[in-house]
Amino acid sequence: MAKPPFYQQTVATLFQDLQTTDAGLSTAQAQERLARDGHNALNQQRRTTLVQKFIAQFKDFMIIVLLVAALIAGLTGEVVDAVIILIVVVLNAIFGVFQEAKAEEAINALKEMSAPNATVRRDGAVMTVKSDELVVGDIVLLEAGDIVPADLRLTDVATLKVEEAALTGESVPVEKASAVLTADDLAIGDRANMAFMNSNVTYGRATGVVVATGMQTEVGRIAGMIEAADETTTPLQENLTQLGKSLTILILVIAAIVFVMGMWRQTETWIDMLLTAISLAVAAIPEGLPAIVTITLALGTQRMAKRHAIVRKLPAVETLGSTDIIASDKTGTLTQNKMTVERVYQFGQLQDAHQLTFSTDDRLAQTMILSNDTKMTADGLVGDPTETALVQYQLDQKYPVEQVLADHPRVAEIPFDSERKLMSTIHPLANGQFLIAVKGAPDELLKRVTQVATETDVVPFTAEIKERILTTNHELATQALRVLAFAYRLVDAVPTTLTSETVEQGLTLAGMVGMIDPERPEVAQAVADAKSAGIRPLMITGDHKDTAAAIAARLGIIDAGDQQAVITGAELDELDDDTFAKQVKNYAVYARVAPEHKVRIVNAWQKQGKVVAMTGDGVNDAPALKAADIGIGMGITGTEVSKGASDMVLADDNFSTIVVAVEEGRKVFANIQKAIQYLLSANLGEVLTLFMMTMLGWQILAPVHILWINLVTDTLPAIALGIEPMERNIMKQPPRGRQSNFFSGGVFGGIIYQGLLEGGITLFVYWLALTYPVHAATDLAHADALTMAFATLGLIQLFHAFNSKSIHGSIFTVGLFKNRFFNWAILIAFALLAMTILVPGLNDLFHVAHLDAYQWGIVLLASFMMIVIVEIVKFFQRRVVK
């Protein structure tokens, strides 16, 4: 018969089964169990070696195409061509490995933020041990500020509250007890006598016995499920795969046509035509593209890392640029994750909290400090977020908190409980009397009030005053403020019996405060930026509907009072998946939702064809992070499992960082798109030139010519386009959509007409040189024509690089010489191209002739016409778009 769950077992039964006692295990027992069960740690994600990372880079389809091209080139004697392609492929792999390794280092550094130690009772003595050395049966002592180091069955509880958002998504701390629970199949959030690994103690103290460690804990169980989840491919990976397949088919078809036509014309041997076909195939393959994509992404990740966004995998950078939806947690991401006093009601007036000052004997200030379990440590305030907010508020107001605590030590108390919703403490005064300080929910505390403090005296608590106070309470609540009331009572002696009836009666109301977890100051602008970029921000929170709606309105996510855009988890459960997918556009705020709802939200938007970015920090968020197109983990509050499931980690847990990352992603895509348009139009020009020369029976450019042009133009200039500065208004444009690719937005048409233009101009220069030769001799005329075609085909691509600095914008508006690397790249490429003609010896190696000034003039003028014609076309394109 299976044993009942731990929460249904008595402490005595557990101690017997686990062979432990309240004094704890002996050191020998602990070491024996550690050797048997292993360390108390979650399984690390399987680490890959550098060699494995390197090999994984070669799984990309485009890389495979290049490797095949290198193999064919090598087998047919084009060794230099093969070597250059292999160098490009290897450099691409090295960049990829470097980025993944750097991302792993950053994630591991964030993991070090977890608490490494636990307080236990062993051999009857209290001691500190490493958390990963805890074993089943250990007795663990918890207090406010601790991270629960393993799954515990609580044996002794003193007003313990534990924040379990990592498991349940509920941001409000859960009250704990030690009593046996009899219900079956209780949800994690309802197991009040259990404390779970990686949850946080916010209030009180407790003792518990370890019942599960490592992967046997609730956190470990979910982590095991996540390990088996499938990885999703990014739009960038899909685009590059599609591009690689399309190019492969196109290249094979063109090469086959050239080979067949050459054999049909019988002007060359089959070996020569095979080499020509291979040369044409090499010309068509953008061998520099993988390196350009990798370098562009790598530089983007470095810029993002400086702005607190750590990208774990390179393609995720570009995915961010296509984001339509950003679904974000509220607490800590949109807000500051710390309660703050905003409004104070005192002496019949409601005021801004920071406009007040308090005297040392002010009863409201005293009560806020004294009826409070916050601990002041060297590392800051420790305790329940609501209570620490009260103390921090008084510290900010320069109130002498430590002096008041020292002068009025606590001598008795009635702890808070969920039934009375009050907490009372008793403190001695200098005149021999005692101050009873009470705080709690206004509706409960007002039942016990008989008087109200004024600036000079106390007055009876009349119905009129009560109505005014209730109205103020309602006003604060509608602003999503959490309201606490404070009261006091002076007595001559500490009551002999400490009950609510003897202590919390005949109170004088000192005032009320309204608190909220305020929005981060920079988030409202980030939300506005996201909206102007056509991105829809969503808020997802475990908080109440009114609180979520108020914060969302303050941030600009929804309009004030727009309750139709807010839906709760309970309301979401009433909708089936198909209905929700149809209605999902109606909602921008999700309140009182559990982490499992996030997967439904992701799937519903994806059914609408949207690219979804999803944030999460809990273990239960990991499935949603995996399902989203871009999963974003939290670096500070996030669990190790959620970070491991993410594509990107926010080192500062800040929503505005996501918007920065989206901007960087758009820039990355735009620059890759520029490089693709430049490379493919240039390669199309080369293919057209070779194809038409073959068809017309002209002397064709040799493989060495095409190889050198590719080396000169497909490397440095193309890479330089990948690091172009961001164009203006990039965040004013709508997301490009899931169905878009690198050929969208007029790029495909640009590649076609620009490639035809490059090939046409080159062929025209060749024809002109043959028709109006400088030398009468036929051999010299052909050599001049071939050299001029070679120089034109190379230079026209360098001039076209200036056109490619913007897909549609004029080169005069994007900054002709703003990119210094681009300027140097063009100069170096021009020098490398020119030296093959000008340097004695090299021209013989490349089978080209010297050109005179007249011939160079034709080459330069024809090449420059590329800029003129493309600028004219772009001018009319912009007019049509307008």
Which residues are known catalytic residues? 329
Q: Write 816-823 long-range contacts (CB < 8 A, 24+).
A: 818/725, 819/720, 819/723, 819/724, 819/725, 821/719, 821/720, 821/723, 822/717, 822/720, 822/721, 822/723, 822/724
Q: What's the rounded Cα separation, in Å, for the pair 711 and 717?
A: 10
What is the identity of the amino acid at 808? H
Angle at 619 between CA 618 and CA 623, to 5 degrees: 105
Q: Calculate the CA 591 to chain-centre distance.
A: 22
Choose among 141, 117, 115: nearest CA to 206: 141
363 within 8 A of 545, measured Cβ to Cβ: no
Element (H, E) at 470: helix 463-478
Distances (CA, A) of 127 to 21, 122, 130, 141, 145: 16, 7, 10, 10, 17
Quick check: helix, strand or coil at residue 233? coil
Whether the Cβ atoms of residue 519 and residue 336 lie closer than 8 Å to each other: yes
CB 165 within 8 A of CB 617: yes
- DSSP helix/strand/coil, 122: strand
Structural contact between residues 609 and 737, judged by C-beta atoms closer than 8 angstroms? yes
Sign of CA dihedral 313, 319, 321, 323: negative
Q: How far apart are CA 733 and CA 754, in angstroms?
A: 25
**String of b and e for 392-416 (b: at least 16 CB within 10 Å)?**
bbbeeeebebeebbeebeeeebbeb
Three-state SS letters, 315-346: HHHHHHHCCCEEEEECCCCCECCCCEEEEEEE
Measured between alpha carbons, how far is 494 from 492 in angstroms, rounded to an integer? Answer: 7
Interior/surface letters 582-619, b for 16+ CB within 10 angstroms, e for the rest: eebeebbbbbbbbbebbbbbbbbbbeeebbbbbbbbbb
**Residue 435 backbone dihedrals phi, psi, to 5 degrees:** -100, 120
Yes or no: say if 207 and 154 are a contact pair by the CB < 8 Å rule. yes
| Residue reference for tokens 């979804």 | 612
DSSP 784: H
- Residue 235's closest CA among 503, 613, 588, 553? 613
Reduced to 3 states, what is the DSSP secondary structure of residue 744?
coil
Q: Do β-strands 648-650 and 630-634 pair in parallel, antiparallel, or remain unpaired? A: parallel
Q: Report phi then psi at 441, rounded to 5.
A: -65, 135
